[in-house]
A and B are shown apart, each in its own frame.
Chain A
Amino acid sequence: MKIQEEIKGYLERYPDRRGALLPALYIAQRKAGWLSQEALEAVSEALDLPKATVRGVATFYAMYRQRPMGRHLIQLCTNVACMIFGAERLVDLLKERYGLEPGGTTDDGRFSLVIMECIGACDRAPAMLVDTDFHPGLTEEKIESILEGYE
């Protein structure tokens, strides 16, 4: 199984198997965008760790997703600097334009939205990540045209 091999490639970085758990969870999540039962089991098998251990760790971290996500994940910051420069209006816009609620997914499965704490772009607020692409300096017009680029 391919992801198990990839996970094993991380073992040499850590003094024990458990050390590779966080990278393993990222690998397991990459394909489907979330950690299904099978994905968790693959990790548990590859690292020879109890399933409960794997799940216990996965549920602690916000970036390991426990539910299926849309094809594209919007991570929009609403912390102080972004809030001052209008992030709340952008949240409203996503609701109006795409029917997208914080923590939700559009009906067509195109986008999921997660509200972020500061993403380290306060000098170019408001900002978001779409998948791994970083988009700073958002305005209502800009966010729409950016999102049009994600099918």
Chain B
Amino acid sequence: MKTVHATELMEKVLLKNIESPNSTHIEEYRRVGGYRAIEKALRMPPQQIIAEVKSSGLRGRGGAGFPTGMKWDFASRDPKFPKFLICNADEGEPGTFKDRPILERNPHLLIEGMVISAHALRSERGYIYLRGEYPYAKVVLEKAIEEAYEAGFLGERILGGDFGFHLSVHQGAGAYICGEETALIESIEGKRGQPRIKPPFPVNVGAWGMPTVVNNVETLANIPFIVEIGGEEYSRIGNPDCPGPKLFSVSCCVERPGVYELPMGTPLKEIIYDHAGGIKGGGRLKAVIPGGISTPVLTPEKIDCPMDFVSLPKYGSMLGSGAVMVFDERVCMVKVCWRAMRFFEHESCGKCTPCREGTGWLRNILERMETGNGWKGDLELLRDIASSMAGKTFCPLGDGAAGVVLAFIKDFSEEFEYHIENKRCMVTG
């Protein structure tokens, strides 16, 4: 078997054919090979699909990078029925817009991935938890679901067999925390979106107390391809430790912001300079947030880092959602840090004290620094508060908030000190 090299992956898997004006229509999707994997998958026993996904090495694209095959295995071994399959389309992490092209331009890929996954899990009920801020995606998805029902890919007796699966869109209502899988489940159940304590994990006790698999849009969109080419072959794409194609959403100070489908493990430098066209207006790189606002910021000397779940922690950050935010010298780090904290404060669900109070305090201190009213000792205060939040919050939201501040004040301390001492910004004056 041959190794698939980075350059050979020019053929898009996740963003295939999305430039076509009819990409959302079922006929167009089928014309380019869509809904073929489903026929193959429905002839495979569920356990065999799980085995393929396991051997593919696919890791969840929602942020945590959990091995998908393993998650499915846990849910599948649980004797309780019914089982639920939920697609996490909450995409709320600032900087992230990678699921959007799938949702808006390639909805049938997601549906096909979900039907195959449901068959593997023997689930008969699925939901796409879609963020309220994507009203257009809702229209596209609901139309595509309707088409899939008509064509017999959804509903009872799919393709004439004895497997049936029902799918609908469940629209979120503007709460970032609902992207966290247990909060998301609460929200689907019609409750306030506050996270649950884990364990038990959703694979055993999820929606309505039943085994539930929550997977990100991009994760599920990989499934038809894995079924088509086989797990072994898939595992050769990109980094062997976490293989496959990966969507990167690149934004802020680059020439060509956008979503790029590249092999997992593509170096950050290549993403910024080759794909996104380098720094906007030829400016100088100052900092990069590699995986969405909740991931620690990186300094320019670290951009040789391969973008995958195993490499980024070695460089002090995380892959997160693969949202690359690029800052040049004209961007004030105090201001970015302040804005990030305003986000966390706003989105903290209020359930646990360290997060609810801590994010507010941090925002407050950052705000006075940013507006030229910082106090001597504020930097230590920030470090102190963030350190006492880290590891003590109910869910990773508060942890992320703390990590963000700690990374900014570690690598850009002069800028923060300058703000305090000179009562103005080092960059904008």
Contacts and interface: CB of A to CB of B under 8 A. Distances in A.
Interaction A to B: yes
Interface of A: 13-16, 18-23, 25-26, 56-57, 60-64, 75, 78-81, 83-84, 116-125, 129, 132, 134
A123 B323 CA distance: 11
Interface stretch (B1-9, B93-101, B146-154, B410-418): B93-101
A15 B133 CA distance: 26
A57 B183 CA distance: 13
B94 A26 contact: no
A57 B127 CA distance: 20
B252 A19 contact: no
Given A80-B336, A84-B331, A61 B173 contact: yes
A19 B189 contact: yes
Contacts of A119: 133
Contacts of B249: 122-123
Contacts of B308: none
Interface in B255-298: 257-259, 293
B136 A80 contact: no
Contacts of B187: 22
Contact of A84 (B97, B208, B252, B346): B252
A122 B97 contact: yes
Contacts of A64: 173
B250 interface: yes
Contact of A26 (B93, B95, B173, B257): B173
B325 A117 contact: no
A140 B137 CA distance: 27
Contacts, number: 128
A120 B100 contact: yes
Interface of B: 82, 91-97, 100, 125, 127, 131-136, 166, 168, 170-176, 187-194, 208, 249-253, 257-259, 293, 323, 325, 327, 331, 335-336, 339-340, 343, 346-347
B340 A118 contact: no
A84 B127 CA distance: 35
Nearest to B82: A15
A81 B325 contact: yes
Nearest to A10: B168
A123 B258 contact: yes
29 contacts: A13-B127, A13-B168, A15-B82, A20-B190, A21-B190, A22-B173, A22-B188, A57-B192, A61-B174, A79-B343, A80-B94, A80-B95, A80-B293, A81-B251, A84-B252, A84-B327, A117-B94, A117-B343, A117-B346, A118-B96, A120-B100, A120-B133, A122-B96, A122-B251, A122-B257, A122-B325, A123-B258, A124-B257, A129-B135
Contact of B95 (A21, A22, A122): A122
Contacts of A23: 170-171
A134 B323 CA distance: 21
A144 B131 CA distance: 27
B111 to A, nearest CB: 16
A25 B193 CA distance: 15
B100 A19 contact: no
A78 B94 CA distance: 11
Given A83-B339, A119-B133, A122-B249, A18 B97 contact: no
